[in-house]
Amino acid sequence: MKTTTYVSALLSLASAVSAHYTFDKLTLGGVQEGTDNQYIRKHQNGYMPTKFKGIPEGSISPTDKDFTCNKGSTPSADVFKVKAGDEIGLKQAFGGTGMQHPGPIQVYVAPVKDATSDSPYDLKWYKIHQALICKSGNAESLRSTAWCSWDEDSVHFKIPSTLPDGMYFARGEHIALHGAHDGQAEFYYACAQIEVTGNSATTIPGTSVSIPGVYKQDDAAVNFSLWGSSTSYDLIPGPDVIPGGTIRGSADGAGGDVTKTVEGGADSGSDSGSDSGSDASPTEGSAAPSTAPTSATESSAAPIVPEIPDSGEATPQPTPIAAETTPLPSTGNGTGSGCSSGSSKARRHARHFAAHRF
């Protein structure tokens, strides 16, 4: 009996830890280019997430300077050349076959002189892509398959025509929200080294941010609870996507898996639909406007008990160790954030979303 219980516990723990991931491969149109870490900066955090609270042993916080390209990242040998419209991706390492945590995708770029030697610190970062919800559904699907990123093996995005030629760090990021109700959102990210060519833009439009600093511990977007009755997520993390950048999906998924270009860029108004989870170029399509974002503060009469967020050592080897325990969500407030400072930011993003309704 004891042996059976022990084995079951180990299997459960191994499954939990295997849900962690990072990125070490660059893809173009869904096909890997080069070798592992040839274009993606290698870091020392293995597949461990970055968290504000309940930080895994050896990992870091979003307030750490290494929140740029992850802990102890080092330059890669080469820079990958891209042009406007190319769809590139940062693909999972360690044989990962799909992200199975609910949450949004963000992609930031920072211009540099030499991507093979420049430091990722003290740069200006611009958000060029956001992926939200691609399937409308219910509160249960918001905890899994509703998200555009669900079960995809890469953070993939198109190069905007509004980026001037030159070298950049391209930082792909997935925020997992399954533990966000307890302040334990998980950040998975890495940086690619790219060079944009053939664009006519001379300046980057939109607003830049600092990393670290782009997220605060009490931001509503990273304290959102999936365990209430909400069926939408309108608390977009970080800044607005720059003109010419792209937004995939919407706050509630009503328009389906459609990617829109933010107005102000050379390709404004274009849209594309995608039925697959690969980073191949999506086919042309059209989307109905998203329904108005529903409140993130809806309560649930019978809150669902989430699985315990996983944890482990900061090592690239998939050897599970003891997992952390996250308090179960309480009844009542559907956001679980309990912070007033995030509300103004939430309203700002809601206004932005309304301005770019699809």
Rounded to two decimals, what is the model's pTM? 0.76
Residue 354 CA: distances (Å) to CA of 117, 211, 270, 288, 326: 41, 27, 17, 13, 35
| Predicted confidence band of residue 200 (pLDDT cuts 50, 70, 90) | very high
- pLDDT of residue 151 exceeding 60, the answer is yes
Relative to beta strand 283-284, strand 154-158 is unpaired
Interval 289-331: pLDDT, tens: 333 333 333 333 344 444 444 444 444 444 333 334 445 454 3
Give the pLDDT score at 265.
63
Percent of the chain topping pLDDT 90:
68
| Predicted confidence band of residue 85 (pLDDT cuts 50, 70, 90) | very high
Q: What share of the chain is helix, strand, coil (3-state, %, to 5)?
A: 10, 25, 65
What is the three-class DSSP state of 83?
A: strand
Interacting residues of 15 by C-beta distance below 8 A, sequence separation 6+ = none
Task: Tell me the C-alpha distance between 96 and 99, whole Å.
Answer: 8
- Kindly state the average pLDDT of the residues 165-184: 99
Task: Tell me the C-alpha distance between 49 and 60, whole Å.
Answer: 8
Find the angle CA(149)-CA(52)-CA(172) to the nearest 5 degrees: 35
Give the pLDDT score at 264.
86
- Kindly state the average pLDDT of the residues 39-46: 98
Task: Tell me the C-alpha distance between 21 and 19, whole Å.
Answer: 6
Give the pLDDT score at 271.
57
- pLDDT of residue 9 exceeding 50, the answer is no
What is the three-class DSSP state of 5?
A: helix
Give the pLDDT score at 329.
56
| Predicted confidence band of residue 19 (pLDDT cuts 50, 70, 90) | confident
**For 85, which DSSP code?**
T
List 92's β-bridge partners, or say none. Answer: 23
Task: Tell me the C-alpha distance between 56 and 138, whole Å.
Answer: 32
List 50's β-bridge partners, or say none. Answer: 187
List 12's β-bridge partners, or say none. Answer: none
- pLDDT of residue 334 exceeding 50, the answer is no
Give the pLDDT score at 122.
98
Domains observed in the chain = 20-216+240-288+303-327 (2.70.50.70)
Give the pLDDT score at 272.
59
Mean of pLDDT over the chain:
80
Contact 280, 271 (CB under 8 A): no
Longest Cα separation, the chain: 69
Contact 39, 192 (CB under 8 A): yes
Give the pLDDT score at 176.
99
List 332's β-bridge partners, or say none. Answer: 300
- pLDDT of residue 348 exceeding 60, the answer is no
Interval 223-272: pLDDT, tens: 999 999 999 999 999 999 999 999 999 999 999 999 999 998 655 545 55
List, edge to edge, every strand of the sheet that includes 166-176.
80-83, 186-197, 166-176, 105-112, 126-131, 246-248, 258-261, 271-273, 283-284
Give the pLDDT score at 286.
34
What is the three-class DSSP state of 269?
A: coil
Relative to beta strand 283-284, strand 126-131 is unpaired
Task: Tell me the C-alpha distance between 240 and 352, whole Å.
Answer: 7
> Distance from CA of residue 90 to its chain's centroid?
11
List 38's β-bridge partners, or say none. Answer: none
**For 293, which DSSP code?**
P
Higher pLDDT, 279 or 306: 306
What is the three-class DSSP state of 10?
A: helix
Residue type, 33: E
